[in-house]
Amino acid sequence: MRRKTGGPPRVKAALALLGLFLLTWTLRVHIRTNTSFLSDRAAHLTGVGAVAAPGVVLPEGLTGRGQIIGLADSGLDAGRPDDIHPDLQSSPGAFPKVVMLKSWAGRSVPDDPTGHGTHLAGLIAGTGAASGGKYRGIAPDAGLYFQALLDEEGKISVPPDLEDLFRPAYAAGVRVHVNGWGGGSNRYSSSSRQVDAFVRSHLDFLPIFSAGNGGPVAGTLTAEANSKNALVVGAAQSVRPALSPDAQDASSPAFFSSRGPAGDGRLKPDLLAPGAGLVGPRSRLVEGNFPAHSGYSLQSGTSQAAAVAGGAAALLRQYLQEKGIQEPSAALLKAALINGARPAASGSDPPGSAWGLLDLAGTVLALEEGAMQLADEVRGLQEGETAEFELEITNPQAPLKVTLVWTDPPAPAGADRALVNDLDLVVIGPDGREYLGNDADGEGRPDRLNNVEQIYITQPPAGHYTIKVIASAVAQGAVAGSGSPRQDFALAYGQLLPRGVLAGFSPAGKLRLSDGREIEWPAGNIINVVDGQRVPADKDHLLPGADVYLGSRTVYVVGATWQGAGLQPLATSRGDMLVEIGRELREGGFYLNPAAGSNVFLDGRPADLESLPPGVDVSATLNPSTGTLWTVEARAVLKEGLVAEVNPEENTLRLLHDDQIYRLSSRVAVSFADRLHGSALADLPFGAADKGEVEQIWPGMAVELALSSRSGEVVYLAVKRDLVVGRIASVDASAGRLVLETGASLKVFPGAPLERDGREAGLEELKPGDWVRAVTLPEADTAVALRAYSRVLYGRVIYVSRDRDLLYLIDSRNDFHLLRLGSAAHIYRWGLWAGREAVSPGDWVRVILDPQEDEIWRIDVAPVAGEKKGVLAGWDRDDGLLRLADGTSYPASRATLVTLGGYPVPVEDLPAGLTAQVVYLQAPGTPVLAQVAAEVPASSPPPELKFSVIGRGEGVYLGGTTTADRLYLYREDGRREDVIPGAGGYFAHEIEPGPAGETCLLVALDRRTGAVTGARVELGPGGPSFWDIAGHWAEEDIRLLARQGLLAGFEDGSFRPDLPVTRAEFVALLVRLAGWPVAPSPELPFTDAAEIPSWARGVVAAARERGLVVGFEDGTFRAGLPVTRAEAAALLVRYLGDRAPSPALDLPFRDWHQAPSWSREVLARAFAAGLLRGTAPDVLSPLSSLTRAQTAAVLRRLAGL
């Protein structure tokens, strides 16, 4: 089918006008092509890419050959080894990939309806066959022993005794066992003990457990992660910044990763490994979420981190076996991995791990160079014995690291201190200084909690070092066959290889590192690895940005490359990024390394990354360990014009006045280059992007094409259009015109497509307040397409529950919303179509909702330009700017979240001089405020606020007094009503009609002091609702009597159920319940009558007239004293008269003897009538004050009689 000039009738006139805007075009050419291939990113981040290359440490490389890795998880693909994902199929003539697949939970087929187990299996040992090797696992030649844990109902069911899980795996040859499951509280439990017990009896079995996904709060580890002898792994971020908010910085822990310490204070997790935004095989039983390749999915979690660590542990085990250590203990593997770890980013509180980031190259290359030594002391030490190791340091620039690990006997479940046997690590330097294990602060205190101890000296003085392992306490025998209790251990010690990043070459031909160091070219002793393959070590192959490991014998250079087409540069708050425009091509993008310097080129000329045009081709080098761009060579072949013809069948496009036929790539990325005009300030940071498709392109549209410099195909197509975005102020359907709140007036083109809330609508159906997005003719006020929505929120994401499809939002009014984020929701970030993984806590968003339900239809994420704390200088009404004392100023919109002391207030009323946290978003022209969170001065007490809600006829009034000078009533529908206090602070305000039972927020601001307070206001016939009675035992009684008008709350919206009731109050309630008439100004005979409040005088007189009250012997009434339960009983019995029963005088309460003799009869009668009950099962409390809650319960029972 061909689309020629003309199009649908309703847009013909619009297309004719569009055709007037003929745009020029330019041609840019690539300078050269550098083709290469990139393995999945976790391998680079963990150093696996360096040691997996053939000829580096082993002729065939470290691939996991000969290793069987156990994995206990949900299930595996469709549940059959002979019908399985290509990445998990066995290679002809090779050891089986899946050596065993069986359900351990009674499920008939060990399939994977969750996708979790299949993903982990591929991360561990997938071959990458479905992606040509691109997404291969960490140990692609290893076998998998898979134990499925889902039961028939799809729930995780782990054997009660974990030995039943581990023993068969061990018998099958499994020595590394990955467990991406866990639960329970952060304590040493029975499952923790079972793990430790099995490792203690099978010393070469290393179970790996994920830390849990309860971060970033401290102490959120699972029970299994409390195991001493397992390797517990938390999740570090990966580097897919355009796909996952937790895949930004490879050196930082992921937000969700559970933090330590363990329940008894031990240092956990042991290591961090990439666990956020990882690509792995997709089970055929789940939907995909990785459009770049339908056979894979993108998942995050500490389970993924455990899988990466499991693959790395198997590679280390393979290396040690090749070097002669045939049965390395679990403690030795753990010690070696911990000793080779590199530091995580500082600033995480609590830290993500105890010992750092998994770095297999740091471990293996140090072992290969002899810089790190290992000791697996199976005979062990008995209490009081010491083992010594000697070490000579010649290079004080390389850090010294010593790690001691021992497999401790299991402690009793629930033990407050899980450590059983205690070894101490001591290092004595050449100057005689002693260093103690886990004593980083140098306080001289030995560790008494952990079975992992480490000493890390960043710049060790040259000379002789003695390393001591001292058996401080061996309470339980750990070594079989020894006469006395002994404890075995493993030790990893030595210097880490000095590292750097290759920046280039000096004029003298030396290797120049990014920190300025220059390294002599080591003749014949340099190994160069690029993209997992060993290549020549010359200037043509040594890549800028490569990681450099400086061994004493060999220099290892490990580089990586990336090439992409149809890319867009983005300037984000985290740095400059390149990302694939088309979601079908998007693998996550990369940040530019800030240390790379001026290494960006466009068509051979120096350029800034953000100046690159959308749609460029790029050949780049990467720094593998950080996953960041180092050099970028971009090429752009661009053309602009008006579309003359689109042929989807032949996948071609032609421009007006251009004879060339442009072939569209099969994966061409289409987007919209929008120009917003007349739009609301609130919407400028969010834009109004669309999911671009070739089918949306019509003749007459202005477009820009980006052509691949390699194939000549169109890889990116940008449609230029004009938009107006904002809320409707008024609609004139007869004139075909609407006006936005910005003042922009739009003429709706006759026949233009128009929708409201997802369905076709007429102009007359649009309402003031609707949010609208209108496509207009270029630089005109004529709308040729229009969509309107009735429910649009702006705010900040607080939390995203991906497993429950929920999003928690605080909106611009500081109200909380719990919204459903389903798979059908459209997500846009950076103006690009994205997936749900692109939304994260802290994001500022615009949300379009289903008009009837809290279901999200669309989210636009705005980029943050900056955040800072400053002092307010005041609101500039003329320019509409909030000015700060540092001279900066920012515009605020209706979507700006402005609070003072947590209460919403208008930005124009914020007093100058307050300290505030401000967040501002990127927008065309100038940043726009997202949030102003002002602080109340510590010396300013909250203003007084007393009010009541009064119904008069059909209206509702709010009246009261305040010491504030500004009052705001925030309604549920978003409206704000300003309440003006008069002289003396009195106010009376008629509330505009609203829904029945509406709850509003009343905020009082004193601009003179910067103080603020607030209260909830209940409207409607449902009666008062008190915020402090939820869950109270008398909640139902209180609500019932409040609805009947017998009880009232306080000015702040509370009821205060546990406050005592005075004698006057209790009498007034009885009189009101009885309906007795009350005289307006009665005379009272009591000697303290002057002290009886005016409101109570009438009810007291009515009660006295009917014999309800008689006063005390001294002639007083004592109106303000709390009424005791005994006194209340007397009043209740008098109220009942003859209806009160006369039972026996002994009641079944252990404090009955405390009741005064005069009160025992009335207490017994009130109890028998069911009016008074005990305050506890056997406690009456006769002399205690009657509380407001007890009064509500008594009155409700009394009314029932």
Question: What single-letter DSSP state applies at residue 1179?
Answer: B
pLDDT at 1004 over 60: yes
- In this structure, what are the phi and psi dihedrals at residue 1193, rounded to the nearest 5 degrees? -65, -45
DSSP helix/strand/coil, 814: coil
Give the whole-angstrom CA distance, residue 1171 versus residue 1108. 17
The answer to whether 570 and 576 have CB atoms below 8 angstroms apart is yes
Per-residue pLDDT of 102-133, as tens digits, reads: 999 999 999 999 999 999 999 999 999 999 99
The answer to whether 114 and 286 have CB atoms below 8 angstroms apart is yes
CATH 2.60.120.380 fits 373-478+488-495, yes or no: yes
Q: How confident is the model at residue 94 (pLDDT cuts 50, 70, 90)?
A: confident
792-862 and 864-934 in the same fold: yes
**What integer pLDDT is reported at residue 400 of this predicted model?**
95
Helix or strand (DSSP H, E) at 201: helix 190-201
761 CB contacts (<8 Å, ≥6 apart)? 754, 755, 788
CA atoms within 13 A on the CB side of 35: 2
pLDDT at 481 over 80: no
**What integer pLDDT is reported at residue 139 of this predicted model?**
96
> Looking at per-residue confidence, does 392 or 649 come out higher?
392
Q: C-alpha distances in angstroms, 592 versus 97, 586, 620, 855?
A: 38, 17, 10, 37
- In this structure, what are the phi and psi dihedrals at residue 87, rounded to the nearest 5 degrees? -70, -20
pLDDT at 871 over 90: yes
Task: Output the pTM of the full model.
Answer: 0.76
Q: How confident is the model at residue 1030 (pLDDT cuts 50, 70, 90)?
A: confident
**What integer pLDDT is reported at residue 118 of this predicted model?**
97
The answer to whether 46 and 141 have CB atoms below 8 angstroms apart is no
In this structure, the strands spanning 434-436 and 702-707 are unpaired
State mean pLDDT over 923-943.
Answer: 93
Per-residue pLDDT of 140-157, as tens digits, reads: 999 999 999 999 999 999
State mean pLDDT over 624-642.
Answer: 92
Other beta carbons within 10 angstroms of residue 216's beta carbon come to: 16
- Nearest in space to 467 (alpha carbons), one of 404, 517, 415, 509: 404
The answer to whether 1072 and 1099 have CB atoms below 8 angstroms apart is yes
Per-residue pLDDT of 45-66, as tens digits, reads: 999 999 999 999 999 999 999 9
pLDDT at 884 over 60: yes
Strand partners, 179: 72, 209
Q: Is the dihedral angle over the CA atoms 261, 265, 267, 270 positive or is it negative?
A: negative
Q: Is the dihedral angle over the CA atoms 961, 963, 964, 970 positive or is it negative?
A: negative
**What integer pLDDT is reported at residue 347 of this predicted model?**
63
**What integer pLDDT is reported at residue 725 of this predicted model?**
96
The answer to whether 501 and 545 have CB atoms below 8 angstroms apart is yes
What CATH number does the domain located at 60-357 have? 3.40.50.200
Out of 2.40.50.140, 2.60.40.10, 3.40.50.410, 3.40.50.1820, the CATH code matching 792-862 is 2.40.50.140
DSSP helix/strand/coil, 330: helix
**What integer pLDDT is reported at residue 855 of this predicted model?**
95
Q: How confident is the model at residue 954 (pLDDT cuts 50, 70, 90)?
A: low
CATH 2.60.40.10 fits 945-1022, yes or no: yes
CA atoms within 13 A on the CB side of 593: 25
**What integer pLDDT is reported at residue 888 of this predicted model?**
95
Q: How confident is the model at residue 349 (pLDDT cuts 50, 70, 90)?
A: low
Instruction: Tell me the residue type at 518.
Output: E
**What integer pLDDT is reported at residue 14 of this predicted model?**
35
Most confident of 482-491, 611-620, 766-775: 766-775
DSSP helix/strand/coil, 984: helix
Lookup: tokens for 1050: 């306080």
DSSP helix/strand/coil, 695: helix
Q: How confident is the model at residue 33 (pLDDT cuts 50, 70, 90)?
A: very low
pLDDT at 1003 over 70: yes
Most confident of 401-410, 1090-1099, 1118-1127: 401-410
**What integer pLDDT is reported at residue 18 of this predicted model?**
32
Q: What angle do the packed helices 1094-1105 and 1063-1074 form, to 10 degrees?
A: 60
**What integer pLDDT is reported at residue 5 of this predicted model?**
33
What CATH number does the domain located at 864-934 have? 2.40.50.320
Q: C-alpha distances in angstroms, 1176 versus 74, 703, 1077, 1148, 1150?
A: 49, 79, 37, 12, 10
Instruction: Tell me the residue type at 75.
Output: G
What kind of architecture, by CATH, is found in domain 9-25+638-789? Beta Barrel (2.40)
Q: How confident is the model at residue 490 (pLDDT cuts 50, 70, 90)?
A: very high
Q: How confident is the model at residue 1201 (pLDDT cuts 50, 70, 90)?
A: low
440 CB contacts (<8 Å, ≥6 apart)? 456
**What integer pLDDT is reported at residue 202 of this predicted model?**
97
DSSP helix/strand/coil, 1198: helix
**What integer pLDDT is reported at residue 1170 of this predicted model?**
87
The answer to whether 610 and 569 have CB atoms below 8 angstroms apart is yes
The answer to whether 119 and 282 have CB atoms below 8 angstroms apart is yes
State mean pLDDT over 221-239.
Answer: 95
- Mean pLDDT rounded to a whole number for the chain: 88
DSSP helix/strand/coil, 806: strand
- Nearest in space to 730 (alpha carbons), one of 740, 721, 722: 740
Other beta carbons within 10 angstroms of residue 916's beta carbon come to: 20
The answer to whether 370 and 236 have CB atoms below 8 angstroms apart is no
What are the residue ranges spanned by the domains of the chain? 9-25+638-789, 31-59+498-635, 60-357, 373-478+488-495, 792-862, 864-934, 945-1022, 1057-1200
Helix, strand, coil percent values for the chain (each to nearest 5): 15, 35, 50
